[in-house]
């Protein structure tokens, strides 16, 4: 992020795009762009970029780009899709840059791998059949049987990545449709399955490390509004059970949608959003609120520890997306208190900035309004905590949000942890989130300690004061034993996190002993 000139905020950009000004220089005409033509527009004062086959004239956007002009120039005159996906694939560029659309890249014929693959498989099978068919009724019927089996399983050979093999099948009874996805992964769990069924559209995504398998169909008939997702963890089998609305026999499951039955890298899978209802909004501090969103009935989504979701709102006619980290509605003191884990609600603690574009719009949502929530993302792995003996959490402001589920998990499920210490940086006393709950937890659980550090304390403050620094960290983050297995998690404004990581390195902690939460 770079400081933008006054009058160059996202809202200013949205205003400019709505002003009717010709932003492409083509007076609304859309053209076909060749690679040679694209390459000519590679200067700050004339800059075109291609993203996913569409070409944008980003010259007028230069001064509004939050990452700065130089970042944008890295893709000038070229296909910037990979760069864009690395930095912020969640940003809704189609909506933000629609006024800058120049046209599509000119079509370049490419080989169609699926057809080739089918032909190859077909010819391979034909040769096998050539050897076996004396034992079968007819060569054609043998090929058809083998092919129909492959198709029923969703062309499984294509869905093999790194020796992980995913396929699906479905069957029905009078009242139910059961779809079974076989992953053969031993550690399958509910967080790795994201399923949505709205109207007649079914989408089931299975996360397998950094890959994603997707089942996506337009169902043949309507279903009721309460589906079930069952997971056989040990064998990696996932069942999605739909209730038929009418008691009729289905001939097919439905029509496959574009990405149906694909197994690809997670980063290449588009973000999927569903509309969630705002059911409550409660004050946490003078500027921070706890929002409770209810997932639609036919949605199965559990946000894993340390991961965030994206919220999407239409602001002044433009879709705007921002990341937020779901947490628990409170810090459980008694671990039987976890009725909040009903799977139907998502809790978000959000600071409302007085000049914030997104948070102001969020604050204006009324109970009962809807907002789009994406699938989770993030690279934190629970296993990092499971092997630790001492956990340090360094949080600044709302950087506290990922620490909540993490803290709860550490204290309830990690038996080898001897100590958990939260060092919580804020400006003033009344900015501290859940201070009372944190102090209560520290009284209740002797493994947990909390230390508040204020950068703008009043003179009555007797606790620690200052900013994150080498001396402060050397004092607060210490191994209790020389060979202790330590994990240090850090989250806050980007410069806070980056400085923290540098200080920790200076103090001798290795990269493996740290996790920095950054988008």
- Site residues (vs ligand FAD, CB under 6 A): 10, 308, 322-325, 348-351, 353, 355-359, 398, 401, 493, 519
Q: What are phi and psi of 192, to 5 degrees?
A: -90, 0
Q: Which of 492, 501, 503, 509 binds ligand NAP (CB under 6 A)?
A: 492
User: Within 10 A of 255 (CB to CB), how many other CB atoms are there?
Assistant: 11
Q: Which is nearer to ligand NAP, 24 or 288 (CB)?
A: 288
455 binds, among ligand FAD, ligand NAP, none (CB under 5 to 8 A by kind): ligand NAP
SS3 label, residue 162: coil
Closer CB to ligand FAD, 208 or 349, in the complex: 349
Going from the C-alpha of 69 to that of each of 9, 61, 66, the distances in angstroms are 14, 9, 9
* Nearest to ligand FAD of 50, 311 (CB atom): 311
Would you state the structure tokens that stand for residue 163, as one six-digit string? 């020796």
**CB under 6 A: which stretch of 161-169, 255-263, 359-367, 426-434 binds ligand NAP?**
426-434
- DSSP three-state, residue 301: coil
Residue 88, CA atoms < 13 Å, CB-side half-sphere: 16
- Residue carrying the six token digits 């810090």: 331
Taking the complex as a whole, how short is the minimal distance between the CB of residue 124 and ligand FAD, in angstroms? 47
DSSP secondary structure string, 99-112? GGEEEEEPP-----
Q: Which range, of 22-30, 61-69, 335-343, 423-431, touches ligand NAP by CB under 6 A?
A: 423-431
Residues from 344 through 383 that contact ligand NAP (CB under 6 A): 351
Q: Minimum distance between the CB of residue 322 and ligand FAD, rounded to whole angstroms? A: 4
Which of 495, 502, 505, 512 forms a contact with ligand NAP (CB under 6 A)?
495
Q: Which is nearer to ligand NAP, 296 or 356 (CB)?
A: 356
Phi, psi of 377 (to 5 degrees): -145, 160
Cβ nearer to ligand NAP, comparing 88 with 200: 88
> Based on CB atoms, which residue is closest to ligand FAD, 80 or 402?
402
Q: Residue 214 phi/psi, 5° resolution?
A: -130, 135
CB of residue 417 vs ligand NAP: minimum separation in angstroms?
22
The minimum distance between CB 286 and ligand FAD, in angstroms, equals 14
431-470 binders of ligand NAP (CB under 6 A): 431, 455-456, 467-468
Measure the CA–CA gap between 429 and 432, rounded to whole angstroms.
Answer: 6
Binding partner selected for residue 183 from ligand NAP, ligand FAD, none, CB under the kind-specific 5 to 8 Å limit: none
Residue (348 or 393) nearer to ligand FAD, CB: 348
Per CB under 6 A, 420 contacts ligand NAP:
no
CB 237 within 8 A of CB 270: no
| Smallest distance from ligand FAD to CB 397, Å | 7
In angstroms, what is the minimal distance from the CB of 448 to ligand NAP?
21
Distance CA 173, CA 193 (A): 24
**Which C-beta is closer to ligand NAP: that of 25 or that of 495?**
495
- Nearest Cα neighbor of 453 from 480, 471, 478, 437 is 471
Number of residues in contact with ligand NAP under rule CB under 6 A: 26
Cα–Cα distance measured from residue 367 to residue 293, given in angstroms and rounded to the nearest whole number: 10
Among 64, 263, 425, 448, the residue binding ligand NAP under the rule CB under 6 A is 425
Strands 464-465 and 448-454: parallel
Cβ(42)–Cβ(13) below 8 Å: no
- Name the residue number minimizing CB distance to ligand FAD: 356
**Largest Cα–Cα distance in the chain?**
95
Burial of 346 (0-12, 13-18, 19+ CB in 10 A): buried
Which of the 8 DSSP states describes residue 266? G
Q: Which residues bind ligand NAP (CB under 6 A)?
A: 308, 325, 351, 396-399, 401-402, 425-427, 431, 455-456, 467-468, 491-493, 495-496, 499, 517-519
């Amino acid at each position: 992020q770079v400081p933008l000139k006054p009058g160059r905020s996202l809202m200013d950009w949205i205003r400019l795009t709505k002003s009717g000004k010709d932003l492409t220089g083509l007076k609304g005409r859309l053209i076909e762009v060749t690679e040679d033509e694209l390459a000519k527009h590679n200067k700050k004062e004339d800059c075109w970029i291609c993203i996913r086959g569409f070409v944008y004239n980003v010259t007028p956007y230069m001064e509004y780009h939050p990452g700065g002009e130089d970042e944008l120039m890295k893709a000038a005159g070229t296909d910037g899709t990979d760069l864009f996906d690395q930095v912020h694939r969640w940003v809704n560029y189609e909506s933000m840059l629609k006024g800058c659309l120049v046209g599509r890249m000119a079509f370049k014929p490419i080989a169609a791998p699926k057809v080739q693959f089918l032909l190859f498989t077909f010819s391979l099978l034909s040769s096998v059949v050539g050897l076996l068919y004396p034992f079968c009724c007819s060569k054609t019927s043998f090929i058809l049987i083998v092919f129909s089996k492959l198709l029923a399983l969703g062309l499984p050979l294509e869905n093999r990545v790194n020796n992980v093999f995913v396929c699906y099948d479905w069957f029905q009874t009078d009242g139910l449709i059961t779809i079974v996805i076989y992953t053969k992964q031993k550690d399958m769990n509910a967080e790795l399955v994201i399923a949505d069924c709205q109207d007649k559209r079914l989408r089931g995504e299975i996360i397998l490390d950094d890959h994603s398998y997707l089942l996506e169909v337009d169902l043949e008939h309507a279903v009721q509004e309460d589906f079930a997702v069952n997971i056989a963890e040990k064998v990696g089998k996932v069942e999605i059970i739909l209730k038929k609305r009418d008691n009729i026999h289905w001939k097919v499951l439905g029509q496959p949608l574009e990405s149906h039955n694909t197994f690809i890298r997670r980063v290449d899978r588009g973000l999927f959003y569903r509309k969630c209802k705002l059911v409550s909004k409660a004050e946490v501090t003078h500027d921070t609120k706890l929002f409770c969103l209810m997932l639609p009935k036919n949605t199965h989504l559990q946000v894993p520890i340390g991961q965030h979701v994206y919220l999407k709102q239409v602001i002044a006619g433009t879709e705007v997306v921002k990341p937020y980290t779901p947490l628990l509605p409170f810090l459980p003191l008694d671990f039987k208190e976890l009725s909040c884990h009903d799977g139907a609600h998502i809790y978000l603690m959000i600071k409302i900035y007085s000049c914030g574009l997104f948070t102001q719009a969020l604050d204006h949502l009324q109970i009962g309004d809807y907002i789009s929530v994406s699938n989770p993302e993030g690279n934190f792995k629970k296993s990092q905590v499971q092997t630790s003996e001492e956990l340090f959490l360094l949080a600044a402001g709302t950087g506290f949000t990922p620490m909540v589920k993490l803290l709860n998990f550490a204290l309830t499920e990690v038996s080898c942890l001897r100590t958990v210490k939260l060092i919580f940086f804020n400006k003033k006393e009344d900015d501290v989130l859940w201070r009372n709950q944190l102090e209560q937890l520290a009284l209740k659980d002797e493994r947990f300690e909390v230390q508040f550090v204020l950068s703008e304390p009043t003179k009555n403050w007797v606790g620690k004061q200052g900013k994150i620094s080498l001396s402060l960290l050397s004092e607060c983050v210490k191994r209790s034993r020389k060979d202790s297995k330590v994990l240090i998690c850090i989250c806050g404004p980007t410069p806070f996190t980056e400085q923290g990581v540098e200080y920790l390195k200076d103090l001798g902690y290795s990269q493996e002993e740290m996790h920095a939460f950054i988008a």
